[in-house]
Structure 1
Amino acid sequence: MFSKSKIILSWLTLLLSFGSIFLSSWIFLPAPNMFLLTLGVGAPEISPWLFLLNLLCLLLAFFYIHRRQLQRLICIMSLIGLLICGWVLVNIPLTQMQMARAMKQGLGGDYFKQIPALVSAQMQTHPFNLVNFFRGIPSSKTRHQTGILFAKPAGVPLTMEVYQPPEIGKYPTLVVIYGGAWQRGNPGANAEFNQYIANRGYTVFSIDYRHAPQYQFPTQLDDVRTALDFIREHASEYEADPQRMVLLGRSAGAHLAMLAAYQPDAPPIRAVVNYYGPVDLTEGYKSPPSPDPINTRAVLRRFLGGSLEELPNQYKIASPINYLTRLIPPTLLIYGSRDHLVEVRFGRQMYKRLLQSGKTAVFLEIPWAEHAFDAVFNGVSNQLALYHTERFLAWAVN
């Protein structure tokens, strides 16, 4: 009976070890398709859990498995997994230092002193908190309204969700635009983030827009601009200050946020936050990523109505990088080095062009992060991004 138990334990440990090394490997393996991209996104963000899992397998193999070959195999796999996950964990302090330096370079060495003490006191005190990773990032209750109709173009109802601080007042405005390759998504996305920011003293509007391929550019930009007009007209109803408005988007939503903020006739906008958004659609079509799990050229054709060869001017008009000759609001760019949908080189290029144009900009790069890294709200990358995003927002509106 004892021998049978040890055999079962050996096989369970082997299976656990295979699972842990398989998941850990996606911290550095490029995903060839959208299914595996989910693992590429999630693996680095849960690396502390994977580190513990690999450590558990190593300890089980070392103390409870006595078959030499099996013990050696599990130990090797576990050590490899520990090294992969450890690479992320060891790089957290270095990445944080680089981000802190980038914030000071972009906003000024004393930017944090410009934030009111009451505002800064509510912020996270550490860029990465291991306790918050395991238990979740704490956030108090907020007021939340859903299904607010702001327009009905061509009979299509467009709604928004509003998150407000618990106390009645007048707050800075954050407009959030979801991603989804311009083809999918809804205002209910990223609810944890919206609630968190509202709890920090903002009225957060999460807005909708019509989707490609049924509706092609500039329909999506028109819908965002319509939402901004609605928010400005009805700001008092939602305790929002329209003079202290910031746009924030993710992926396709970041692209729309930049375009809306950079338009010559844009309303007063204090800043724009770009989480891994496309900035140069022309170059994106010319040189898609490899591997290309989303089929970038097909996505762009659906969004713009044709290929680059067919619609070169449309690609140019739809690229935020071509709008830097006028006065534009400060821009925060956050990208993952391992992004295989919108490569980090586009973020770097945008940052370089912003600086060359004399604009205020901050570029933050997370070495291990994939596209949509903030989908794991309490994950490693999002904690770092959130820490600096809330500081950028507070600096911009105050």
Structure 2
Amino acid sequence: MFLKPKIFLSSLALLLSFASLFLSAWIILPAPNMFLLTLAVGAPEVSPWLLLLNLLFLLLSLFYIRHRKLQRLVCIFSLIGLLTCGWVLVNIPPTQMQMAKAMKQGLGANYLEQIPVKVRAKMQTHSFDLANFFRGIPLGKTRHQKDILFASPGGVPLKMEVYQPSEVGKYPAVVVIYGGAWQYGNTHANSEFNQYIANQGYTVFAIDYRHAPQYQFPSQLDDVRTALNFIRKHAAEYEADSERMVLLGRSAGAHLAMLAAYEPDAPPIRAVVNYYGPVNLTEGYKTPPNPDPINSRAVLKAFLGGSLEELPNRYQIASPINYLTHPLPPTLLIYGSRDHLVQARFGRQMYERLHDGNTAVFLEIPWAEHAFDAVFNGVSNQLALYYTERFLAWALFRQ
């Protein structure tokens, strides 16, 4: 026996509105496992799309659905979804103001005036652009080289990708280190970001490193150092200025970037950009997030070769927060308040320690989860990108 067309369509609307609510709910719900973490990362970043979807089902419930019970359910689901998505959007303006204030506090009220006009002219004019959200952020034309072998430790080939502006020249270097719990990932990660930054007037090096658990710390740090030495040696070949170099990492890559720049024997680095990176592995092991979708203690054991009880000194040596005893490069830290892999409190703790004697900026995005910039034109990445490009320009071009 078949449902009548109107009942069928109303039931379908109910099902779809529930699905939209389910997706929207991960804007506020903490993810208990890796599958749901993907939804929790993506949902706030595509909240304008989800808002439109919830609004569509609300209008359908009001003007099309005639079955009272189904109409009421669709309306409830849609309203909850709208409120959830709306929470992200209404928080954008105060977050923009907070970030602008943090940049001025960290770099100086006139930091933008220190950036050449020609460099400023290429930057995004708004920290969030709804048109860019729907159509995508323009990347510009760049040159791209892949599979550049820079080392083979123990017979493991390590390669990098290089992104360059379209015109031949000599440009500041941005070395990008991908994340992935020190266990996975590749140099092609976040390629849109690399292309965008190259188009802004930088030579971008996306470097590789060996993965845990087969290779444990400090193998990854050794590989980053080897890559930096290679870049300095071959800087002219890739049109890079070895005297103007920034390290930028995400998650595990941010951890490696900080260590590579902060250790007493580190090469000269102009600045560090840390996207949601672990900074205190000892405390991270003692107090893992709850819920803990990646089993943080297991990840740390695989990376360092054992538990905190077994290897307390190694946890201490591998924690960037323990290297703040001498002048350090300016550091930009960007974290999400809802990060359930690397909690924002660690970034804040790092900022407070850095700020006492060093230049540092801490930006926190209220609705963002870990890896929020996976959606390049998403809400959080637009904010992060806007201030990252200003920080890079200040660090590498300031007059």
TM-score, normalization by structure 2: 0.98
Q: Determine the C-alpha separation between the residues in 2 that align with 1:141 and 1:167.
A: 9
Amino acid across the alignment from 1:386: L
Q: Deviations over 1:73-102 (max 9, x none)?
A: 111111110000000000001100000000
CA drift of 1:12 comes to 1.8
Q: Determine the C-alpha separation between the residues in 1 that align with 2:314 and 2:266.
A: 20
CA drift of 1:70 comes to 1.1
CA contact (8 A) 2:258 2:274 kept: yes
SS of aligned partner of 1:237: helix
Q: Determine the C-alpha separation between the residues in 1 that align with 2:291 and 2:255.
A: 22
SS of aligned partner of 2:273: strand
Q: Determine the C-alpha separation between the residues in 2 that align with 1:56 and 1:100.
A: 34
Amino acid across the alignment from 2:118: L
- The equivalences for 1:1-398 within 5 A come to 4-356=4-356, 358-398=357-397
Q: Determine the C-alpha separation between the residues in 2 that align with 1:374 and 1:185.
A: 15
CA contact (8 A) 2:150 2:158 kept: yes
- What is the aligned-residue identity percentage? 80
Q: Determine the C-alpha separation between the residues in 1 that align with 2:9 and 2:108.
A: 57
Q: Determine the C-alpha separation between the residues in 1 that align with 2:314 and 2:62.
A: 61
Q: Determine the C-alpha separation between the residues in 1 that align with 2:4 and 2:167.
A: 62
CA drift of 1:139 comes to 1.3
Question: Which runs of no fewer than 5 residues in structure 2 stay unpaired?
Answer: none
SS of aligned partner of 1:89: helix
SS of aligned partner of 1:86: helix
Q: Determine the C-alpha separation between the residues in 2 that align with 1:316 and 1:301.
A: 14
SS of aligned partner of 2:329: coil
Q: Determine the C-alpha separation between the residues in 1 that align with 2:8 and 2:51.
A: 23
RMSD value over aligned CA atoms?
Answer: 0.7
SS of aligned partner of 1:288: coil
CA drift of 1:141 comes to 1.6
Question: Which runs of no fewer than 5 residues in structure 1 stay unpaired?
Answer: none
CA drift of 1:32 comes to 0.3
Q: Determine the C-alpha separation between the residues in 1 that align with 2:127 and 2:311.
A: 44
Q: Determine the C-alpha separation between the residues in 2 that align with 1:9 and 1:63.
A: 13
CA drift of 1:327 comes to 1.4
Q: Deviations over 1:25-45 (max 9, x none)?
A: 000000000010000000000
Q: Determine the C-alpha separation between the residues in 2 that align with 1:129 and 1:7.
A: 40
Q: Deviations over 1:291-326 (max 9, x none)?
A: 000000000000000000010000000000000011
SS of aligned partner of 1:329: coil
Q: Determine the C-alpha separation between the residues in 2 that align with 1:141 and 1:15.
A: 43
SS of aligned partner of 2:99: helix
SS of aligned partner of 1:189: coil
Q: Determine the C-alpha separation between the residues in 1 that align with 2:254 and 2:289.
A: 19
CA drift of 1:166 comes to 0.1
Q: Determine the C-alpha separation between the residues in 2 that align with 1:22 and 1:219.
A: 42
Alignment size in residue pairs: 395
Q: Determine the C-alpha separation between the residues in 2 that align with 1:140 and 1:41.
A: 27
Q: Determine the C-alpha separation between the residues in 1 that align with 2:185 and 2:65.
A: 48
Q: Deviations over 1:239-288 (max 9, x none)?
A: 00011100000000000000000011111110000000000000000000
